[in-house]
């Protein structure tokens, strides 16, 4: 799904619908009201009440229909995954920097530099 925001909410009047195209992985949260959700290649339909969420798990389109005036929140899973991937990259960068610092401080080059300094002081 191509949501232009990481999280978004909207109001649907009773008997209004929202078509979500290629929405697999998107979570639908009911803030108020009641929703009926159907998705391509799923024989089961879902009715959600206030506070309930549903993760769209099929490729293709989904229809969200308001059984009552409703406020819904759409949360795109990709934004959550990208945050986890970013955190993983940051940890890898930090680990690499720590490894380089340890190597400079305690590695073979650091030991030979210390010995060189000792020789200079001895002379």
Cβ atoms of 69 and 101 within 8 Å: the answer is: no
Res 53 pLDDT > 90: yes
Same domain, 62 and 102: no
Q: Tell me the C-alpha distance between 3 and 21, whole Å.
A: 10
Same domain, 58 and 117: no
pLDDT above 90 covers a percentage of the chain that reads 44
Q: Count structural domains, the chain.
A: 2
Same domain, 71 and 32: yes
Q: Tell me the C-alpha distance between 56 and 34, whole Å.
A: 17
| Domain containing residue 117 | 84-122
Same domain, 65 and 96: no
What are the pLDDT digits (tens) for 94-109?
788 887 778 777 777 6
Residue 2 — pLDDT band, cuts 50, 70, 90? low
Same domain, 67 and 97: no
pLDDT above 70 covers a percentage of the chain that reads 74
Strands (E), 1-123: 7-12, 17-20, 27-32, 35-39, 46-48, 53-55, 62-66, 70-75
Q: Is residue 104 part of a domain?
A: yes
DSSP class of residue 66 equals E
Q: Is residue 1 part of a domain?
A: no
Domain end call among 51, 75, 99: 75
CA 117 to chain centre: 51
Residue 30 — pLDDT band, cuts 50, 70, 90? very high
């Amino acid at each position: 799904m191509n949501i232009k925001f990481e999280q978004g909410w909207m109001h649907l009047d009773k008997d209004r619908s929202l078509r979500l195209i290629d929405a697999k992985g998107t979570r639908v949260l009911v803030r108020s009201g009641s929703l009926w959700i159907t998705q391509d290649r799923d024989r089961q339909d879902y009715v959600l009440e206030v506070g309930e969420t549903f993760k769209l798990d099929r490729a293709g389109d989904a229809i969200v229909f308001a059984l009552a005036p409703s406020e819904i929140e759409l949360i795109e899973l990709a934004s959550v995954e990208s945050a986890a991937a970013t955190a993983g990259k940051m940890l890898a960068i930090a680990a690499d920097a720590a490894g380089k610092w340890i190597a400079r401080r305690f590695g073979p080059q650091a030991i030979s530099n210390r010995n060189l300094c000792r020789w200079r002081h001895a002379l």
